[in-house]
């Protein structure tokens, strides 16, 4: 196969994989978005007027177009940190801005922690509401199945999180074809609904949305909070960029996902215009009667996949937060040798599962969860817009100040209106993601400030390596036979175990190796590039061992590739030294929020 053909094949694979990982959240919004929006609009006797249907469908269309297509797909996805997306990528890029003063850096860190906390809140709610909304389709078949909805949902969610260890490539290859079928079915059902009443195509005109607002006034603001359900998944779409890359996600959205969603929303609108009583569940009633059970099965599979978008996004966000010092180090498993961003974080996975199961057992229905949904996502979107348009795109692409201000204000209008509309749902359940986000914010801010205090305390007691070597050379000490290897995170400073060994025992090894470990952004390294070493004189050597991001570090084996250890016939003569620092709290104020 030619290089061009191989590239196209790889691109096609990534597009299909992205369908199974990235677009599950936004792709299953048709299950509940229209139903909840028209329920919020009221109507006459519980049945919506034709003008209401046109207004809601028009708002959904233009929300998808402006918020997802223009803002995220065309603009924000250009702001990537070495291919990674999400709130932490934006935070890292914003911190590199030449305009970032110390006060500005504090503000950026604050926004980053807030955004990540809200994103984790979304990561808990999305799996719960997605799977519940699909399983509830069983109630349409027969009310006798209503008692099994919650137990079946719990079992499905447990299975989803259990299989996360396969990695997003494995999950995507399994889920991608299913989502391809899902979006194809969405489009076909949408065309069927449009044919029932082609007048619904008039909702393409944005004046219907405007007229809805004028006619309903205060009620329209409440409806807008439900309309936002159609664009949930935008932050996950951006956060998952590191798993598949920008181009596959853009292609999948523009040529498959977006058209299928628009057709289905318009099809539901056409069905309701034809028969207003179908508003109770227009998605399932759009399907023929013989297709109800197959649609429930396919919808359940799709909503399982929907949860994948925020789960894999949470893995990416957690790793970036660890790299920026907002979270403690956790095990990160790389599940692909081709894509660095495809990872699995076991600790995050099981924490999310626990929270999701508790949420399902607490709220017990998708309608109840709809009240809790949205506030976390809209909050994260406000922060995305502020950092991306206000800082990152101006610095990365040289936007003028006027263009930056206009773009930021334009998109912030939509984000803040959506946020305010969802804020009305705080008493009905919106308090949950805010409470969860507040706890996460407190933990992350405590860890960030705590690590900085610890780092400052350590720096006061560290000795630069060059003055230390001069002191040893000028004031010789007894040298023991063999090799002493001292692990160090900072190759420019003398390792604390080495300094303490000299202070307390007044003796060091005849040969001393100061060893640092580096992980690079390539999957594998050839043996010749593994070790970088330099002779510092007087028996001291600096060694840097490098590993690819998919490799398991094997220190003794790597050392055999260095010149210093070419004749490493007796490892028993080699001693490894690794320092451990213990901290204790001081009396009084310690500078930590927790």
Beta strands 333-334 and 479-487 are unpaired
Examine the pLDDT at 358 and tell me if it is beyond 50. yes
In which domain, by residue range, is 219 found? Answer: 15-451
DSSP 192: H
- pLDDT tens column, 402-452: 988 999 999 999 999 999 988 888 888 888 888 888 888 898 888 888 888
Do 411 and 69 contact (CB within 8 A), yes or no? no
Of the residues 419, 451, 483, the one at which a domain ends: 451
Q: What do you get for the CA distance between the two ends of the chain, in Å?
A: 58
CA separation for the pair 325, 297 (Å, rounded) = 42
pLDDT in tens, 115-160: 888 888 877 887 887 788 778 777 766 666 777 888 888 998 888 8
Q: Is residue 543 classed as helix, strand or coil in its secondary structure?
A: strand
CB 138 within 8 A of CB 145: yes
Count Cβ neighbours within 10 Å for each residue of 400-409 and write b for 16 or more, e otherwise. Answer: eeeebeebbe
The helix/strand count (H/E) of the chain reads as 26, 7
Q: Region 179-204: what's the mean pLDDT?
A: 94
Tokens at 66, concatenated: 């402006």
Quick one: pLDDT at residue 581?
67
How remote is the C-alpha of 439 from its chain's centroid? 18
Q: Based on the domain organization, do 399 and 488 belong to the same domain?
A: no
- With DSSP H G I counted as helix, E B as strand and the rest as coil, what are the percentages for the chain, rounded to 5? 70, 10, 20
Judgement on whether residues 387 and 483 belong to the same structural domain of the protein? no
Of 101, 129, 63, whose CA–CA distance to 362 is shortest?
129
- Smallest CA-to-CA distance from 78 within 300, 496, 407 is with 407
Nearest to 584 by CA among 475, 431, 445, 454: 454
Alpha-carbon span 518 to 512, nearest angstrom: 20
Quick one: average pLDDT of 386-397? 82
Average pLDDT over residues 219-248: 83
Model pLDDT for residues 43-92, shown as the tens digit of each residue: 655 688 899 999 999 999 999 999 999 999 998 888 877 777 778 778 87
CATH code: domain of residue 206: 1.20.1740.10
Are residues 383 and 333 part of one domain? yes
Whether residue 4 lies inside any domain: the answer is no
Q: State residue 242's pLDDT score.
A: 74
Tell me the pLDDT band of 170, cut-offs 50, 70 and 90.
low
- Dihedral sign computed on CA atoms, order 342, 347, 348, 351: positive
My answer on whether 434 and 333 are in the same domain is: yes
Nearest to 167 by CA among 524, 550, 553: 550
Question: Is residue 137 located within the same domain as residue 215?
Answer: yes
Residue 535 domain-assigned (yes or no): yes
Higher pLDDT, 451 or 536: 536
CA dist 1 and 454 (Å) reads: 55
pLDDT tens for 367-380 read 777 777 778 888 88
Q: By the 8 A CB rule, do 429 and 372 touch? A: yes
Residue 1, pLDDT score = 47
Phi-psi region of 585 (alpha: psi -120 to 50; beta: other; left: phi over 0): beta
Nearest to 36 by CA among 429, 319, 320, 570: 429
Mean pLDDT of 395-399: 79
477 and 401 belong to one structural domain: no
* Region 17-44 average pLDDT: 82
| Block residue for tokens 């400073």 | 493
Domain assignment present for 457: no
pLDDT at position 121 is 81
For 166, the token pair is 């396969």
Do residues 243 and 15 touch, judged by C-beta distance below 8 A? no
Min mean pLDDT across 43-57, 265-279, 346-360 is at 43-57
CA nearest neighbour of 86 among 225, 243, 223 = 243
Domain limit, last residue, from 451, 472, 488? 451
CB of 93 within 8 A of CB of 255?
no
Asked if the model's pLDDT at residue 521 lies above 60, the reply is no
Cα–Cα dist 77/389, whole Å: 11
Q: At residue 169, does pLDDT exceed 70?
A: no
Whether residue 588 is contained in a domain is answered as no
- Both 377 and 500 in a single domain? no
Q: Which residues contact 194 (CB under 8 A, 6 or more apart)?
A: 200, 201, 263, 266, 267, 270
pLDDT digits (tens, 9 = 90+) for 559-568: 888 888 776 5
Average pLDDT over residues 496-524: 81
567 CB-contact burial (10 Å; exposed 0-12 / middle 13-18 / buried 19+)? exposed
Has residue 520 got a pLDDT over 80?
no
Report the domain count for the chain: 2
In terms of pLDDT, which residue wins out, 332 or 347? 347
Are 370 and 513 found together in one domain? no
Q: Mean of the pLDDT values across residues 199-217?
A: 91
**Nearest of 133, 171, 179 to residue 153 by alpha carbon:** 133
Lowest mean pLDDT among 10-19, 277-286, 294-303: 10-19
Shared domain check, 446 and 474: no
CB 322 within 8 A of CB 90: no
Provide mean pLDDT across the span 523-530. Answer: 70
Using 50, 70 and 90 to split pLDDT, how confident is the model at 522?
A: low
Stretch 292-312: mean pLDDT = 80
Question: In the block, which residue shows the tokens 């305009």?
Answer: 99
Q: Is residue 8 part of a domain?
A: no
CB 575 within 8 A of CB 483: yes
Which range is least confidently modeled, 221-225, 253-257, 502-506, 513-517? 502-506
Q: How confident is the prediction for the chain on average, in pLDDT?
A: 82
Asked if the structure places residue 353 within a domain, the reply is yes
One DSSP character per residue, 257-325 reads IHHHHHHHHHHHHHHHHH-GGGGGSHHHHTS-GGGHHHHHHHHHHHHHHHHHHHHHHHHHHHHHHHHTT
Please state the φ and ψ torsions of residue 489, each to the nearest 5 degrees: -90, -15
Same-domain status, 293 and 389:
yes
In whole angstroms, what is the distance from residue 533 CA to residue 554 CA? 17
Residue 307 CA to residue 127 CA, distance in Å, equals: 4
Q: Estimate the crossing angle of helix 50-63 against helix 218-227, to 10 degrees.
A: 50
585 in a domain, yes or no? no
Is 467's pLDDT higher than 50?
yes
> Distance between alpha carbon 453 and the CA centroid of its chain, in Å?
28
Q: Using CA atoms, how far apart are residues 167 and 468, in angstroms rounded to an integer?
A: 46
- Mean pLDDT, range 238-264, rounded to an integer: 88
HEC sequence for 115-180: HHHHHHHHHHHHHHHHHHHHHCCHHHHCHHHHHHHHHHHHHHHHHHHHHHHHHHHHHHHHHHHHHH
Say what percent of the chain tops pLDDT 90: 17
Cα-Cα-Cα-Cα dihedral sign, residues 38, 42, 43, 44: positive
Tokens representing 265 are 């929303």
Does residue 587 form part of some domain? no
Residues 484 and 548 in one domain: yes
559 and 427 in a single domain? The answer is no
- Spatial contact of 271 and 279, defined as CB atoms under 8 Å apart: no
Under the banding of pLDDT at 50, 70 and 90, the label for residue 185 is very high
For residues 439 and 134, give the distance between their C-alpha atoms in angstroms, rounded to a whole number: 30
Distance CA 32, CA 347 (A): 31
* This prediction's pTM: 0.75
Of 490, 434, 413, 418, residue with least CA distance to 459: 490
């Amino acid at each position: 196969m030619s290089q061009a053909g191989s590239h196209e094949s790889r691109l096609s694979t990534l597009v299909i994989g992205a369908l199974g990982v990235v677009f599950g959240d936004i792709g299953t919004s048709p299950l509940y978005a229209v139903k909840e929006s028209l329920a919020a609009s009221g109507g006459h006797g519980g049945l919506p007027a034709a003008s209401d249907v046109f207004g809601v469908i028009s708002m959904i269309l233009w929300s998808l177009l402006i918020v997802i297509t223009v803002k995220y797909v065309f603009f924000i996805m250009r702001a990537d940190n070495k291919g990674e997306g999400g709130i932490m990528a934006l935070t890292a890029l914003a911190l590199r801005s030449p305009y970032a003063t110390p006060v500005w850096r504090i503000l950026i860190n604050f926004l980053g922690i807030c955004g990540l906390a809200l994103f984790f809140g979304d990561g808990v709610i999305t799996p719960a509401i997605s799977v519940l909304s699909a399983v509830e389709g069983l109630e349409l078949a027969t009310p006798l199945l209503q008692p099994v909805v919650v137990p079946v949902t719990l079992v499905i969610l447990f299975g989803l999180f259990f299989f996360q260890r396969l990695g997003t490539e494995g999950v995507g290859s399994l889920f991608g074809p299913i989502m391809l079928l899902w979006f194809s079915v969405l489009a076909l059902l949408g065309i069927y609904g449009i044919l029932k009443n082609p007048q619904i195509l008039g909702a393409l005109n944005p004046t219907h949305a405007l007229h809805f607002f004028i006619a309903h006034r205060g009620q329209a603001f409440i409806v807008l909070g439900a309309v936002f359900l159609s664009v949930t998944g935008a932050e996950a779409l951006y956060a998952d960029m590191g798993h598949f890359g920008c181009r596959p996600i853009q292609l999948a959205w523009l040529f498959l996902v977006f058209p299928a969603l628009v057709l289905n929303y318009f099809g539901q609108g056409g069905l309701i215009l034809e028969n207003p009583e179908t508003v109770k569940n227009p998605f399932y009633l759009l399907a023929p009667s013989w297709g109800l059970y197959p649609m429930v099965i396919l919808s359940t599979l799709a909503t399982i996949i929907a949860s994948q978008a925020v789960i894999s996004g949470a893995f990416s966000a957690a790793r970036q937060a660890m790299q920026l010092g907002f979270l403690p180090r956790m095990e990160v498993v790389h599940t692909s040798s081709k894509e660095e961003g495809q990872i699995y974080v076991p600790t995050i996975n099981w924490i999310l599962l626990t929270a999701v199961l508790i949420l399902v057992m607490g709220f017990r229905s998708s309608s109840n969860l709809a009240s809790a949904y949205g506030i976390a996502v809209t909050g994260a979107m406000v922060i995305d817009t502020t950092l991306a348009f206000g800082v990152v795109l101006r610095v990365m692409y040289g936007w003028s100040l006027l263009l930056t201000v206009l773009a930021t204000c334009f998109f912030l209008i939509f984000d803040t209106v959506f946020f305010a509309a969802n804020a009305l749902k705080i008493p009905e359940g919106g308090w949950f993601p805010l409470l969860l986000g507040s706890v996460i914010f407190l933990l992350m801010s405590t860890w960030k400030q705590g690590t900085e205090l610890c780092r400052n305390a350590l720096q006061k007691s560290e000795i630069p390596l060059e003055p230390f070597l001069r002191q040893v050379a000028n004031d010789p000490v007894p040298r023991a036979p063999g090799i002493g290897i001292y692990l160090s995170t900072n190759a420019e400073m003398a390792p604390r175990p080495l300094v303490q060994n000299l202070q307390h025992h007044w003796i060091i090894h005849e040969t001393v190796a100061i060893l640092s470990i580096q992980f690079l952004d390539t999957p594998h390294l050839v043996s010749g590039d593994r070790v970088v070493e330099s002779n510092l004189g007087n028996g001291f050597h600096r060694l840097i061992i490098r590993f690819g991001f998919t490799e398991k570090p094997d220190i003794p084996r790597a050392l055999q590739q260095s010149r210093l250890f070419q004749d490493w016939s007796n490892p028993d003569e080699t001693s490894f030294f690794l320092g451990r620092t213990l901290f204790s709290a001081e009396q009084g104020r310690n500078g930590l929020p927790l």
